[in-house]
Amino acid sequence: MGAAWFYHLTRRPLEATLPMLLTRARSAGWRVTVRGTDRTRMEWLDEKLWLAGDAEFLPHGMSGGEFDADQPVLLTVDPAVPNGAACLMSVDGAEIAPDEASAMERVCILFDGNDAAALAHAREQWKALTGAGCAAAYWSEESGKWEKKAESG
């Protein structure tokens, strides 16, 4: 059973934090699916990842193509995980069910700590996942660096 790691974004935006987390997941040898809630927003993230520069190049693709299964990082709004990901990342409040979290090596839930609705949704996700027996960790960048602030399971 994998663990759900919650990332409370307060200093750097999603488009700055996501490449760092994707690089770490890829370094662990994992394929990653990034699940969002809005196709236009995911296309925007796709563009940001392509423009991140050579130092942070992350091979990836948007779902719905012929080669979804081959993508090391796949951005999607669909519940499916066609690339055989070991890591599932949720952005913009995308849902992750406890059984999905259990099937993955890692689940990462990134949320905007400056948005009250996003914060409330992340708290509900924490309750749902830990209530179902998933191990979880809460990470905050409030001090300027990522620090683990809480753990469950």
Residues 23-35 have pLDDT tens digits of 999 999 999 999 9
Distances in Å between the Cα of 28 and the Cα atoms of 21, 72, 87, 106, 151 are 11, 12, 10, 11, 21
With contact defined as beta carbons under 8 Å apart, do 105 and 87 qualify? yes
In the predicted structure, residue 1 carries a pLDDT above the cut 90: no
pLDDT score recorded for residue 119: 95
pLDDT class of 54 with cuts at 50, 70, 90: low
Domains of the chain: total: 1
In the predicted structure, residue 78 carries a pLDDT above the cut 80: yes
Entry pTM = 0.94
In the predicted structure, residue 140 carries a pLDDT above the cut 90: yes
CATH number at residue 142: 3.40.50.10110
pLDDT score recorded for residue 53: 59
With vertex at residue 62, the alpha carbon angle to CA 101 and CA 126, rounded to the nearest 5 degrees, is 25
> Which residues contact residue 55 at a Cβ distance below 8 angstroms, ignoring those fewer than 6 apart?
none
Task: Provide the residue range defining the domain that includes 87.
Answer: 3-152
Write the DSSP symbol of residue 135: E
